[in-house]
Amino acid sequence: MQSLENLRKEYSKATLDIKTVTPNPITQFEKWFGEALAAKLPEPNAMNLATVSSTGRPSSRIVLLKGIENNCFVFYSNYQSNKGKELEENPMCALNFFWPELERQVRIEGVTDRLSEEKSTAYFQSRPRASQVGAWSSPQSLVIADRKLLEDRVIEIEKRFKGHPALPKPKQWGGFQVDPFTIEFWQGRESRLHDRVLYTKTGSVWKISRLAP
């Protein structure tokens, strides 16, 4: 096995200047996200979601950004999953986007709230039917004996909703929106002297600062 101590990469593709970023970090994020899309990166909307329970135990996993609405970052999940329960106990969370091909990273910290039932239902019923069936079939995060339980549940749900053009949204499934209070943009630079621009929100006003790498 190659020594991990010797794994290094020089970053030199771009720069990030506090004088040229947009005043609003959401606009800056949309600019960078558009460039990630244009570069045809694999799943540019994949983000690490970090949560913490009331006991102080952190956990993280990859979820998919599904929109930006009212300056909030939107994703969907099962409310009875570990992340759903943790966000119910403690709505503070952190998101992290990493686009290595562009040598960029975006870190976001914010407060989470559920989307309305109407919005969650509209999105749920826009998903492929197999995904709708999957959401009904999986007791997410619970221990199961084997995969056959899931396969049997899929057959059961398919029979139950046969002939329905779209399935109703399960009560335990829906959307979250993250209202950010800090957003940091990171651009890799040579010799580890990376560019870091931090936006912090007080009230409705965003302050922009440069951080040392």
For 137-152, the pLDDT digits (tens) are: 998 888 888 999 999 9
**Residue 207 falls inside a structural domain:** yes
> What residue numbers bound the domain in which 44 lies?
11-124+173-211
What's the pTM value of the predicted model, to 2 decimals?
Answer: 0.93
The C-alpha atoms of residue 101 and residue 13 are separated, in whole angstroms, by: 9
Residue 72 and residue 118 in one domain: yes
pLDDT of residue 142: 84
pLDDT of residue 80: 94
Please indicate whether residue 192 is annotated as part of the active site: yes
pLDDT of residue 8: 77
pLDDT band at 10 (very low <50, low <70, confident <90, very high): confident
Q: Can you tell me the mean pLDDT for 20-39?
A: 98
pLDDT of residue 175: 98
User: Over the stretch 150-186, which tens digit does the pLDDT of each residue have?
Assistant: 999 999 999 999 999 999 999 999 999 999 999 999 9
| CB neighbourhood size of 23 (10 A) | 10
Residue 93 and residue 26 in one domain: yes
C-beta of residue 26 within 8 angstroms of C-beta of residue 34: no
Q: Can you tell me the mean pLDDT for 94-107?
A: 98
User: Considering its fold, how many domains does the chain have in total?
Assistant: 2
Residue 77 reports pLDDT greater than 80:
yes
Residue 56 reports pLDDT greater than 80:
yes
Residue 203 and residue 163 in one domain: no
Residue 7 reports pLDDT greater than 80:
no
Residues with Cβ within 8 Å of 68's Cβ and at least 6 positions away in sequence, in order, are 26, 29, 30, 74
**Residue 98 falls inside a structural domain:** yes
C-beta of residue 94 within 8 angstroms of C-beta of residue 105: no
| Strands annotated E in the chain | 46-52, 58-64, 67-69, 72-78, 92-99, 104-114, 173-187, 195-202, 205-211
What is the pLDDT of the chain when averaged over all its residues?
95
Among residues 61, 160, 192, 210, which one is catalytic? Answer: 192
Residue 130 and residue 203 in one domain: no
Tokens coding 61: 């996993």
Tokens coding 96: 């992290």
pLDDT of residue 3: 80
**Residue 6 falls inside a structural domain:** no
pLDDT of residue 181: 98
pLDDT of residue 64: 98
Residue 137 and residue 183 in one domain: no
Residue 1 reports pLDDT greater than 90:
no
- Sign of the CA dihedral with 43 first, then 48, 49, and 53 last: positive
Residue 25 and residue 81 in one domain: yes
Residue 89 and residue 138 in one domain: no
| Angle, CA 150 vertex, CA 146 and CA 152 arms, to 5° | 105
Residue 162 and residue 103 in one domain: no
The C-alpha atoms of residue 150 and residue 142 are separated, in whole angstroms, by: 12
